[in-house]
Chains A and B, each alone.
Chain A
Amino acid sequence: MKLFGRREKPIGEILSGGESAIANKEVEGLSLGQIVRRRFFRHRAAVMALFLLSSVIVFVMTALETKIGPIRIPGWWKWTVEDIPELRFEDCPGGTIGCPTLSVNPFSNFGLGTHPFGQDDIGRDYFALVMNGARRSLMIMFIIGFLAGFIGVVVGSISGFYGGIVDAVLMRLVDFMQTVPIIIVAAVIGKTAGRVGPVFLALFLGLLTWTGLARLIRAQFLSLRELEFVDAARVAGASNARIAFKHILPNAIGQIIVSVTLIMAGAILTETALSYLGFGVVAPDVSLGLLISEFQTSFTTRPWLFWWPGFFIITIALCVNFIGDGLRDAFDPRQRRRISKKDRLKAKIEVKAGA
C-alpha cells in the first residue's frame, strides 16, 4: 500500500549502513508522526472505521436543522422532531402502524419513501428522531472524551512526575473514584436534580471516568522520567514544567490518544444504559438510549423502532473501538506486521549483496 511517498535510498547505501541497517530501513527519512500514520493506514479495519465514523458524523450532523445561537443552518431532511405528520397504515405487516418505507428491493418501489425509518406512536418521523438521538449521543461522547482525557492527563502527569506524597494522595483519590458505582450515583443525581440536560450528564460522566487514564499516564511518566534525556534536559536547565510538558508528555501521546478513544467508546454505551434506565437524557430531549427505552413495549410488533437506534449505537461504538485499536497498534513500535504467504510470494524483488 503506497499511500505516502517514501524517500527511497539506493540499496547499496542501506546495506553499507552498518548498524542495524535492516531495522532502520523501515523508518528511514520519516518523522515519528509519519511512521504512526503509515502504520495506522495499514490497519484496514481501523481505516474503514475511521471512514465510516466520519461519514456517520457528517450524515447525522447535517440531517437536521442546527442552531448555534442566532444562526440557523437548515438540515437536508424534510421532517423535524416537532413535526407530527399523519400515521401511515397501508402495506404494514400484521396490521401495525408507521412501518418504514425504506426499500432496497430494486424491483418494487425502490427508494426512501416518505418515512424511511418509519414513524413512532403519534406519527413523528423516526428518521428525524434517530438523527437527533445520534447527534446527542455523539455530543455526549466527545464531551466525555475531552473532559476525562484532560483530567486524566493532568492528574496522571502530576502524580507520575512528582511522585512521593503528591502521588500517594492523588492515587488514593483515584482509588476512591474507582469504587464509586457510576449507575447508582447517576441515578441519585438524576432523581434529585430532576431533568438533567445532556450536557450536564456528559460533564458528570466525564468527571467520573478519567481514573483509568490517570493511572496509565502516571505509569508512563514513572518510566519516562527515568530516561536519560530527562536528565539531559535537567542539566540543560529546563524547569519542571518544561520537562513535564515538552519532554515527557509528547512521548506519552500515543497512550493518551488510544485511551481517550477507548473511553469514548465506553461513554456512548454508558450514556445509552443510563438513558435506558431513565436517569440520563430525559424526554422531550432525545438520545439513542432513550429511544430504545421509550418504545421497548412495541418491539415485538414494530421491531424497527429498536433496529435503527441500535444500529447507530453499535456502529458508532464499534468504529471508535476499531480506530482506538488501530491507533494502539500504530503507536506501539513492538507491533510487527504479520506476513502472509501471499506477501512472501509477492516479494519477488530481492536485494543482492553489492548491488
Chain B
Amino acid sequence: MSTEKVLEISDFNVDFWVDGVWYPAVIDMNLGLAAGKVTAIVGESGSGKSTTALGLMSLLASNARINGSVRVKGEEMVNAKSAILHKFRGREVAYIFQEPMTALNPLYTIGFQIIETLRNHFDMGPKEAHKRALELITMVDIPQPEKSINKYPHQLSGGQRQRAMIAQALACDPALLIADEPTTALDVTVQAEILDLMRGLKDKLNSAILLITHDMGVVADMADEILVMKDGITVEHGTSDQIFNNPRHPYTQQLLGAVPKLGSSVKRVLAFQGSTKPAPVLKLTDVTIEYPKRGRVPAFTAVKNFNLEIYPGEIVGLVGESGSGKTTVGRASIGLIPVKTGSIEIVGKEIAGAKQAQLSAIRRHTGIVFQDPASSLNPRLPIGESIGEPIYLAKIAKGADLARMVEDLLDQVELPRSYRNRYPHELSGGQRQRVGIARALALTPDLLIADEPTSALDVSVQSRFLDLLTELQEKLKFACLFISHDLAVVDILAHRIAVMQNGLLVEAGDRDDILLRPQNDYTRRLISAVPVPDPAEQRIRREARLAAKN
C-alpha cells in the first residue's frame, strides 16, 4: 500500500450567489486522503458538508463558485475540462447518496444501471458486463443475485436499494468513494449491515472513503480521521481517537456533548410510586388497525392485538424500525386512523368508533407533535394563529385574551413573543418544532403524542428540544407517548419503553429493564445495532455483534 494520497484538497472554497452577494459555504478546506482510509466530515445541517462532497467533482448548481485545488490521483478537478470530469466521475470517484429511491432511476432494473456504468467506462461487451454486474451484486450481499439483477428499484427494500447503489458505485473499482449520509434513511439494524459491508469492501478494494454524516455513532464506527465543520469552516481536524477522547475546539466538545448516548442517562423518577396505580390516561386494548384494500392492493394489517397503558405523568417511549406500525399507533390513539377491532380509551372515554362530535370533545385532552417541521405548520398562517387555533376552536378565548395566551405559550417554549407574527418559513427546524409543542400544549392536554419530533433536527438542536420537553413535562405533568426510532433519545426521556416489530408489541417494560436486560431477541438486536459515539467501545460492540451473528 503506497502512502500516496488519493485525494488532496487544498484551499478549497465554495461560494453561493444570492441576490448579488457571494456567500461562503466552504472556506479554506484542506484535506488529504490515502487509499484504504476513511475520513469523515461531520457537522450540522448548513455546515457545508454536502456542498463539499458535490463541489469536489464540480457537481454544484450554477450559482456556485469553486476556488482552490482538488486533486484526485494527482489530477486537478477544479475548473477541469468536462471531458476530464466525465472520465473521473464514476471511474475514479464514485458517489453514494442518502436516498437510494431517488438516486436510482425507477424506470430501469438495477442490473441495467450497473451495466450502463460499466459500459460507459470500459470497453466491454454486454455479456461480459452482465457477468461483472452479477459479481458486484453478489459482492454486496443482495439475496438471490440471479433474480435481483432484473429487479426494479421499487421491488427492493431500502437496505437492498442502498446495496444496489453501492454495487453501482463500486462497478469501476473507484479510488475514492464519496458517501453522503449513506445510512441516514435506513433503520439501525440495516445501517449496521451497510456499514459492515462498506468496511469490508474498503479493505478488499483498498478504496479511500470520504464519509459525510451527522451521526457521531456512524463516525465512531467507520472513521480513521475526522474533520469537523461549522458554517463552512473546518474547526477541527484530527484522528478519530483524538477527536472523540480529546476534542480541543469548543464546538467539537459541544457537538459531542449533545449526542445522546445509550445507557448513560440518570434514573427518572416515576410520577407515582407503589402499587396503587391511578387510572390510565391512554389505554389501548387488543387494538388491530388495518389499511383497507385499494383496488388490487390487498388490505394491510399495520398493528395487531396491541396493548398499552399510559398513566398520568409518565413518558412512554414507543420504538421500532420503519414499517413497524409505531406511527399508526400514535395516530390511532388520537383518532386520526380508525381501528378495526379493540378499544382505545383516553381518560376513560372510548374513541374507537366515536362520532365526530364526541371525538373532538375527547381530543381537547390531547395534543400531538408531528415529525416533519416543514409540513406540520400551515405555511400561509402566522405561527401565532397556528398556536392559537385549538384555543380558538375550543371557544376558550378570542381576541386579546387569545393573544395573551399565545404569548404565554411562546414563553413556555422559549421563543420570543414577537415570533407570533412570523411565518413558518422564517423559522428554523428547531424553532418550528417548538411551535409544534406550543400548539400541542395549547389546551393543557392530559396526553401528548410526539411522533418522531426530533428525527429531522440536528443533534445540538435535538438536545435543546429534549431538555425543553423534559422541563415542560415535569412542570405540566402530562402523560406522553413518545414515538421514535432512536433508542438513545428514548433512553433520555422515557420512564417506560415499548418495542414494536411488524405491527406487534414484542416487549414493554421499565426503561432500564428494556435497555439493560432485554428479554426479546429483536430488542437485543436493536440495541446492539445502535452505534455508540466512542470508537473504542464501538469496536468492542461491533465485534460482539459480528460474533453473535456467526
Contact = CB atoms under 8 A, between A and B. Distances in A.
B274 interface: no
A253 B378 CA distance: 13
A90 to B, nearest CB: 59
Given A19-B430, A346-B20, A350-B15, A235 B375 contact: no
Interface centre among A27, A32, A253, A346 (most CB of B within 10 A): A32
Contacts of B394: 237
Contacts of A227: 375-376
B23 A25 contact: yes
A5 interface: no
A15 B231 contact: yes
A20 interface: yes
Contacts of B393: 236-238, 242
B21 A238 contact: no
B363 A22 contact: no
B244 interface: no
Contact of A232 (B22, B63, B376): B376
Given A236-B389, A251-B380, A27 B426 contact: yes
Q: How large is the interface on A (under 10, 10 to 19, 20 to 34, 35 or more residues)?
A: 35 or more
A185 interface: no
Contacts of B367: 235
A349 interface: yes
Contact of B20 (A17, A31, A349): A349
Contact of B390 (A14, A229, A237, A349): A237
Interface residues of B, number: 57
Contacts of A351: 21-24
A247 B46 CA distance: 30
Contacts of B18: 22, 25-26
A343 interface: yes
Interface in A5-26: 14-22, 24-26
A347 B20 contact: yes
Contact of B389 (A17, A231, A233, A336): A233
A231 B428 contact: no
A188 to B, nearest CB: 40
A86 to B, nearest CB: 61
Given A19-B461, A233-B389, A347-B21, A353 B370 contact: no
Given A227-B375, A229-B378, A235 B20 contact: no
B19 interface: yes
A337 B100 CA distance: 29
Interface in B394-430: 394, 423, 425-426, 428-430
B24 A352 contact: yes
A339 interface: yes
Given A229-B375, A343-B17, A235 B425 contact: no
B458 interface: yes
Interface in B356-410: 360, 363-364, 366-368, 370-372, 375-381, 386, 389-390, 393-394
A22 B60 CA distance: 15
A11 B314 CA distance: 44
A25 B426 CA distance: 9
B45 interface: yes
B314 to A, nearest CB: 21
B232 interface: yes
Contacts of A231: 331, 336, 368, 370
Interface in B1-57: 15-25, 27, 44-46
A303 interface: no
B434 interface: no
Contacts of A352: 24
B120 to A, nearest CB: 29
Given A229-B378, A336-B61, 19 more contacts: A17-B428, A20-B46, A27-B425, A27-B426, A32-B379, A228-B370, A234-B336, A235-B366, A235-B390, A237-B390, A237-B393, A238-B393, A346-B20, A347-B20, A349-B20, A350-B24, A351-B22, A353-B24, A353-B231
Interface of A: 14-22, 24-32, 227-229, 231-238, 242, 247, 250-251, 253, 336, 338-339, 343-344, 346-347, 349-353
25 contacts: A17-B46, A18-B231, A18-B461, A19-B458, A25-B19, A26-B19, A29-B426, A228-B370, A229-B377, A231-B368, A232-B368, A233-B378, A233-B389, A235-B336, A236-B389, A237-B364, A237-B390, A250-B380, A336-B61, A347-B17, A347-B20, A349-B20, A350-B21, A350-B24, A353-B231
